[in-house]
Amino acid sequence: MSHVTLIALCALLLCFAVTVAQPAVNTNPQNGSTPAGSSNSAASVQASPEQVNRVEERLREYFTDYRNAQWRYSWAYHICIYGAAVLSALSALLSKVHVRAFGLTEPSRRDNWTASLAAIAAVLIAISTAGKLQDSWQTNRTKRYAVESLLNQLATDQNLTSDDLEAYGKRLSLIIDPNTAAVDSKIVIPNK
């Protein structure tokens, strides 16, 4: 099972847990609640503080994970790119300069050093390209900002219902795996 699939399943499990852990609906007509059999009862169920805290904790976990992944991919990408540039320039410089300190006055030894530096530079570029480091860095950055936006929205929302928390879970699952929308066409993302 891939990492993305596991994350998407965890997000859907969170949505399910929030839905199952709903408190009983109050049928008191004074507060506008209706019995569980009616179509709009779930919208009026107030979310408990524990439910809100669980959703917030889950969002913070994903925010931290995406922030760390963004940082790691950024460093890996920039080390590969700039390392390859420096090593290529050093290789070109050593091919023309005769440095006595390193014993590079011998043509064969100098050729070995320049070829080695050029090869290492090529390997760094290949790692960056084949590993899609730039794409991974930018994807994690985008997902980090999206999860941060959800956290900020959750912090400002008042009187959340269980449906609101379920919508947060669905939005998180769409951030984790955008292909989720194609699988579940019933997902409606409210814009608050």
- Over the stretch 167-192, which tens digit does the pLDDT of each residue have? 898 899 999 988 876 655 565 566 65
Helices 3-20 and 49-96: crossing angle, nearest 10°?
A: 170
Would you place residue 108 in the very low, low, confident or very high pLDDT band (cuts 50, 70, 90)? confident
Q: Which residue has the higher pLDDT, 21 or 163?
A: 163
Q: Where are the domains of the chain?
A: 3-22+45-183
Say which residue the tokens 């290492």 belong to.
120
Contact status, residue 165 vs residue 19, Cβ threshold 8 Å: no
Instruction: For 36-76, write each residue's pLDDT tens digit.
Output: 333 444 445 888 889 899 999 999 999 999 999 999 999 99
- Give the separation between CA 135 and CA 131, rounded to whole angstroms: 9
- Give the separation between CA 50 and CA 72, rounded to whole angstroms: 33
- Give the separation between CA 122 and CA 135, rounded to whole angstroms: 19
Would you place residue 117 in the very low, low, confident or very high pLDDT band (cuts 50, 70, 90)? very high
Say which residue the tokens 């993305």 belong to.
4
SS3 161: strand
CA gyration radius, the chain: 27
Q: Indicate the residue type of 24.
A: A
